[in-house]
Chain A
């Protein structure tokens, strides 16, 4: 997957690049409107991470440019503005998703991969992790080739873990992924625990191994 990060805050762009360095992703950075325009015209990309506020131009114009080229590039807007119309404006003009700063890198990773799946395979793709197979088009989970009934939240949770495998996910990150702003931290930690307990039970009951490691007091890690 080839990724272009258009973000004037170099530290933030660097964060994203380091976070994604152990995935199979080629990252390139553009710190300004001009640089972004040049790179987009000369190289092919699968996904563009787009900051709307650039020092020398408006990110929405870059979005326009990408859509004109009509290359099937997926666009994920990252912006400090959470103004509702900014969000709607971006999505109206053909962005695939919108992420408000500050975001968790794991959340960014998961959203980005979702866009990639939709774009590249029209959503018809299976994510596999050992004996677990996730059909992202139909939101179905198979373990040892057996279809297992997952609730919406359990499915989202498993998908989040699999796309961020081998990474530490804090309870806070998981809660925000599942519910956004609708819960407060303290409540949500219990809620996260309940879902994780159920998900883990379903995997083990279906003959799967327990890949979920509890990181002391902090969160969880999904790894072999």
Chain B
């Protein structure tokens, strides 16, 4: 939900509360005023009747269905105070019981005692309530419309810089050569936000560049010292009188050095792919690439007694860098050979929408989605680096290809889906 929608809803709820309290207050005071006014009217009516009696008018002429006067017999004690009370009486016009206000008092007029009961119909509570609710509702509606319209206008105007900032951040690319420039604004909060984001992105970009430079240099700078060490070991092998245990030590040192150097190369390849250094995306004949890779692996398959079954459609064109395509197919076949049983099989199928490589082999013990992570190996003690599939994944990412892997019927099945 948008910030302004939230504040608007909040304001509307607050308004509703205030208006309800206001409504109740108004209702109460109106009711009070009405009661007071009714009482005044009763007193006024009484005074007219009193004056008329004093003038000697006949009592009967003064009586109506709202005025009851009783002539008191004798001279009882006269209570001349006004007593008001609420009562129900028949409304003369409506002919039904309605709440009334009643004034009760007594007077001594022309030596006679009179007891007065004067009624006046109340303004109905319901009517008051209706009136109040009506007014409050209208006010509320008008105010709501005003607030909604304004919040819409404000969001367009005031939040424009914020929207601009969001858009720029959305388009920001860590790998781009330019710093992020944000639109100027006069709002203090947005100024602070701009400043913060600009310094943060420029820092991130610098870090990224230095990291990139470091990983590029590190992986090939380390190859020379490894070459030196490997050479020394080879020279050591030439020396006379080496015992078997010495040879073993040299051998395992050499293997480790080879691993180290291959790891450096694989990581540098990953970095290069990530940095889009292979950006030649002309359509190439993928069928030929797959065929020549299979040809390269034929001999190795024979050595491991693997049967290799191929079904390659001709002239499948694919938009991918040629070098990456070679690495991609090579890595997949290498995996198919490596994670296979002796006398197992490999099936390679290429058609216009996918390349499928399936091979017999042990069930993977780690979750399949982790197989594509760097340095994840199905068998931790194995001699491989665990970078082959992450290179495959990276190549697919930059070439808009999808990858799918599953294990079924003692077969590893890996599919590269073309766009």
Which A residues have a C-beta under 8 Å from some C-beta of B? 9, 11-12, 15-16, 18-19, 80-84, 100-106, 153, 167-168, 170, 172, 176, 179, 181-187, 190-191, 194-195, 215-219
Q: Contacts of A81 on B, CB cut-off 8 Å?
A: 220
> Shortest distance in angstroms between A158's beta carbon and chain B's nearest beta carbon?
16
Q: Are B382 and A12 in contact (CB under 8 A)?
A: no
Q: Are A182 and B224 in contact (CB under 8 A)?
A: no
Q: Are A217 and B262 in contact (CB under 8 A)?
A: no
Rounded to whole angstroms, the CA-CA distance of A104 and B232 in the bound complex is: 10
Known: A176-B258, A182-B296. 17 other contacts (CB 8 A): A15-B232, A15-B234, A80-B221, A80-B227, A81-B220, A82-B265, A82-B268, A101-B227, A102-B261, A105-B230, A167-B237, A182-B334, A183-B300, A184-B384, A185-B258, A194-B303, A218-B251
Q: Contacts of B224 on A, CB cut-off 8 Å?
A: 9, 12, 80, 101-102
Q: Taking chain B's interface residues, is the majority helix, strand, or loop, or is none over half, making it mixed?
A: helix
Q: Are B334 and A105 in contact (CB under 8 A)?
A: no
Rounded to whole angstroms, the CA-CA distance of A83 and B275 in the bound complex is: 13
Identify 20 residue pairs between A and B in the complex whose beta-carbon atoms are under 8 Å apart, listed by A's number: A9-B224, A15-B228, A80-B221, A80-B224, A82-B220, A83-B272, A101-B224, A101-B226, A102-B230, A102-B257, A153-B299, A172-B251, A182-B296, A182-B334, A183-B338, A184-B334, A187-B338, A191-B300, A215-B247, A218-B251
Q: Contacts of B235 on A, CB cut-off 8 Å?
A: 15, 18-19, 105
> Shortest distance in angstroms between B263's beta carbon and chain A's nearest beta carbon?
12
Which 7 residue pairs are nearest across A and B when measured between Cβ atoms?
A15-B231, A102-B227, A80-B223, A101-B227, A101-B223, A80-B220, A102-B226
B226 nearest in chain A by CB position? A102
- Is there a chain A Cβ closer than 8 Å to B323's Cβ? yes
The digit string for B204-230, where 1 denotes a CB below 8 A from any CB of A, is 000000000000000011011011111
Q: Are A172 and B255 in contact (CB under 8 A)?
A: yes
- Is there a chain A Cβ closer than 8 Å to B341's Cβ? no
Q: Are B234 and A105 in contact (CB under 8 A)?
A: yes
Q: Are B231 and A12 in contact (CB under 8 A)?
A: yes
Rounded to whole angstroms, the CA-CA distance of A185 and B338 in the bound complex is: 10
